[in-house]
Structure 1
């Protein structure tokens, strides 16, 4: 999958995600936030001005996101910024249920945010072995994750290969 496909999956298939920021006490704070829009290089979400979440976004300019549905897991962390206010119209056109939550002029308190640079991972837990793919957006570095056994420390005995429950080890 390419990054655009992963972002579309996050928006269309998972949609409701968990966003984390750092609270005033220095500890993580998480809340459920829907992914409203995406394009080939970013995702968009909304929150209301005056909420603690809004204040944290404005102060930190960074979020961590996790979404899981039907064995598909996507996590993403990256830089955020306020997006063009005109996108609010698209948010309500593509997410009709929002019209009931914010009827009429009440939506004027909303701000659209864009996650424009970051990196993450896509997992498909329905496959054996588990499918795992790292990705990035906005020019961020792709982080390779997982455990790597350094060749100079490997005895080449095969014991790790035989006991790995997900068959994630590749013999070289």
Structure 2
């Protein structure tokens, strides 16, 4: 799947997300926000200019969101995205109302719609995390020109091939055919067992550097 496909999935299949922003005291604040459109340039949503959410978006120009769909952990879809946001104004409001006709029940008149403005999440990254498969599958993507960096756990040349890491891996995703061992990062849970178990410090954790994550668990 492309980045555009993941963003469209959020809009089409989940729609309502929980968005986190940061207030003036540096504390997180959440709000339920519908993602109303998506394209190759990002995600689009509306908010009223009188809300504290609007103020936080304008000040911070950054958000994180999570969306859930499904009946239980092992079958649900959870998508999380972090990225930069910018205000686009009201030009696209008619288009978003056409795509989301329920909005006309909330803001029924042209006068009431004047409170609204459009925001775009225009740069960020994501990660697809499918727990319905065994082993799990993890893929990542970026959009809007965000730099994609590797993250997670890696085994260095210091590996002595003792097997301690493989013995504690819950997904059996460490390849031991040759030394140094190799972690299949697309199946890794990021639990950290390998890092703790390695007697020679051959496992390294590389920090997440791209602004965004997305997690996907299929409903099939």
Instruction: Tell me whether the two structures share a fold, i.e. TM-score over 0.5.
Output: yes
Counterpart in 1 of 2:14? 14
Cα distance, 1:84 vs. partner? 5.0
Counterpart in 1 of 2:59? 59
Q: Distance in 1 between matches of 2:19 and 2:175?
A: 34
Q: Secondary structure at the match of 1:83?
A: strand
Indicate conservation of the 8 Å contact 2:142/2:148, yes or no. Answer: yes
**Superposition misfits of 4+ residues, deviation over 4 angstroms:** none
Counterpart in 2 of 1:155? 160
Q: Distance in 2 between matches of 1:135 and 1:67?
A: 17
Indicate conservation of the 8 Å contact 2:89/2:117, yes or no. Answer: no
Size of the alignment, in residue pairs? Answer: 171
Cα distance, 1:69 vs. partner? 1.7
Q: Distance in 2 between matches of 1:52 and 1:142?
A: 32
Q: State which of 90, 98, 102 in structure 1 corresponds to 2:95.
A: 90
CA shift in 2, pair 1:75/1:169, >3 Å: farther
- The yes-or-no answer on 1:39 pairing with 2:44 is no
Indicate conservation of the 8 Å contact 1:134/1:145, yes or no. Answer: no
Counterpart in 1 of 2:113? 107
Q: Secondary structure at the match of 1:7?
A: helix
Q: Distance in 2 between matches of 1:2 and 1:170?
A: 28
Indicate conservation of the 8 Å contact 2:11/2:35, yes or no. Answer: yes
Task: Give structure 1 stretches of 5+ with no counterpart.
Answer: none
User: Normalising by the residue count of structure 2, what TM-score does the alignment of the two structures yield?
Assistant: 0.72
User: Normalising by the residue count of structure 1, what TM-score does the alignment of the two structures yield?
Assistant: 0.90
Q: Distance in 2 between matches of 1:147 and 1:107?
A: 49
Indicate conservation of the 8 Å contact 2:48/2:54, yes or no. Answer: yes
Task: Give structure 2 stretches of 5+ with no counterpart.
Answer: 71-75, 177-181, 183-220
Counterpart in 1 of 2:83? 78
Larger radius of gyration: 2
CA shift in 2, pair 1:32/1:104, >3 Å: same
Q: State which of 136, 142, 145 in structure 2 corresponds to 1:136.
A: 142
Q: Secondary structure at the match of 2:114?
A: helix
Counterpart in 1 of 2:196? none
